[in-house]
Amino acid sequence: MKILLIGSGGREHALAWGLARSQKLSKLYVAPGNAGTNQLGENIPIGTENLSDLVQFARREQIDLTVVGPEAPIVAGIRDLFEREHLRIVAPTQKASFLEGSKVQAKAFMSRHGIPTARHASFESFEDAKRFARTMPPPIVIKADGLAAGKGVAIAQTHAEAEQILSEFMIAQKFGAASQRVVIEEFLVGKEFSLFVASDGVSWKFLGTAQDYKKLLDGDRGPNTGGMGSISPVPWLTERMLDETIQKIVEPTFAALAKENLSYEGILYFGLIWTERGPFVLEYNVRFGDPETQVLVPRFDFDLVELYRALAERRLKDFETKLAPRSAVCVVLASGGYPEHYEKGFFIEGLEKLTDPNVLVFHAGTALKDNKVITAGGRVLNVVGLGASIAEARQRAYTAIGQLSFPKMHYRRDIAA
């Protein structure tokens, strides 16, 4: 099979690694990819926003199957575009992508179907939003409706702060049209985790749980980031809690999709919080997570190409998505200064010294210069340790990190601690 993978981060390197393990893969293209994906396939310089060039490429190269990493091309309708050209692709339709593309619509969907989520109200008018926020006890959660690269959620500790955030979102339009509408919701207290499912529109299969570390600094301090680490499975989530989550959230979500005649085909990410009243949905994403994929794929005890084929051919019902009984811990090595201003272009030392077969290094923001790997983004490398336990996996990841360096490298020391 000739596969085209769309995206360029650590998630895509992990997916490329999974795909490349399959005997069924004959050729892998990654658009645009990074220095890591280039070792497993061929990078193609087409951006993820350039849908028509991606279609053209898939047609010209007679790609058998296209796999999509990030949300933006999905919400922009890549699935529909490929389908119109009779090109096989695994991704939800634009119609189904509201689950991530519009927080207003996703919340309305959950409310219509009684799926547990924070109580909320949606607003198009700044004045109405302001008035409503005043009636809420802080902390108050404010979410931009549309895609905002993971930055569209703000938590206000006071009414004054809420007003200021609403003004930034709705009047100054911090995220453009994406923040013209907002959701205001109650703050839920609990432990966050995520759950991943594959669906072919007829049936769905569980792909595992993970937890990510969003804050920049140890002890969950500092600003939010795209993710500084992740672990899988979620160690505190018992079998009974997982069953309850599937019964209260996952099954009702797919029943609701069916009821609304929405055929969901692709990966569905449930962003969840375990509260004293059980599991609640914080958000849906219409794709794998980053950096959660980096700890999920190494645990897959099945052929990833075959999974995507089963999804494309609607044969998921007979496909077994087994997970290996091993744990994975991912630590993100970031550029100093990230998520604000940072420098790039530094050589990365030590990659060739890593020999532990239980350590995987996925590239997130790298490039090649004179055939050497240099930093090219805020999040640079994802170091993944594998082991029989989270503790063992953690030990391996941090031992490997001891061999790696680049100027101003920053990482958290407390992932999976």
Which positions lie near ligand AMP, rule CB under 6 A? 118, 141, 143, 153, 185, 187-188, 192, 271, 282-283
**CB neighbour list of residue 86: distance below 8 Å, 6 or more residues apart:** none
- What does 212 interact with, of ligand AMP, ligand GLY, none (CB < 5 to 8 A by kind)? ligand GLY
Stretch 143-182 residues interacting with ligand GLY (CB under 6 A): 150
Residue from 18, 208, 227, 365 touching ligand GLY (CB under 6 A): that is 227
Residue from 102, 292, 297, 332 touching ligand GLY (CB under 6 A): that is 292
- What does 200 interact with, of ligand GLY, ligand AMP, none (CB < 5 to 8 A by kind)? none
- CB nearer to ligand AMP: pick between 88 and 412: 412
Write out the E strands in 163-277. Answer: 182-186, 191-200, 204-217, 221-232, 265-275
Please report whether residue 229 would count as binding ligand GLY according to CB under 6 A.
no
Residue from 64, 200, 212, 265 touching ligand GLY (CB under 6 A): that is 212
Q: What whole-number distance in Å separates Cα of residue 328 and Cα of residue 318?
A: 27
- CB nearer to ligand GLY: pick between 198 and 310: 198
Please report whether residue 64 would count as binding ligand GLY according to CB under 6 A.
no
385 alpha-carbon distance from chain centroid: 19
- CB nearer to ligand AMP: pick between 56 and 111: 111
Residue from 289, 339, 365, 385 touching ligand GLY (CB under 6 A): that is 289
Structure tokens at 20: 């490349």
Report which residue's Cβ sits closest to ligand GLY.
Answer: 289
- What does 283 interact with, of ligand AMP, ligand GLY, none (CB < 5 to 8 A by kind)? ligand AMP
Tokens 């609701």 -> residue:
256
**Number of residues binding to ligand GLY, judged by CB under 6 A:** 7
- CB nearer to ligand AMP: pick between 64 and 145: 145
Q: Which of 149, 263, 244 is nearest to 200 (CA)?
A: 263
Q: What whole-number distance in Å separates Cα of residue 404 and Cα of residue 52?
A: 39
If one counts every other C-beta atom within 10 angstroms of the C-beta of residue 97, the result is 28
- Which amino acid would we find at residue 328? A
Q: What whole-number distance in Å separates Cα of residue 212 and Cα of residue 214?
A: 6
Minimum CB separation of residue 212 from ligand AMP in Å reads: 8
Which is it for strands 2-7 and 65-68: parallel, antiparallel or unpaired? Answer: parallel
Burial class (CB in 10 A: 0-12, 13-18, 19+), 12: buried
Structure tokens at 72: 């933006």
Minimum CB separation of residue 187 from ligand AMP in Å reads: 4
* Residues recorded for the chain: 417
- CB nearer to ligand AMP: pick between 143 and 363: 143
Rounded alpha-carbon distances, angstroms, from residue 41 to 37, 276, 417: 6, 46, 35
Minimum CB separation of residue 63 from ligand GLY in Å reads: 25
- What does 232 interact with, of ligand AMP, ligand GLY, none (CB < 5 to 8 A by kind)? none
Rounded alpha-carbon distances, angstroms, from residue 2 to 39, 50, 57, 250, 309: 16, 20, 12, 32, 12
**Site residues (vs ligand GLY, CB under 6 A):** 150, 212, 227, 285, 289-290, 292
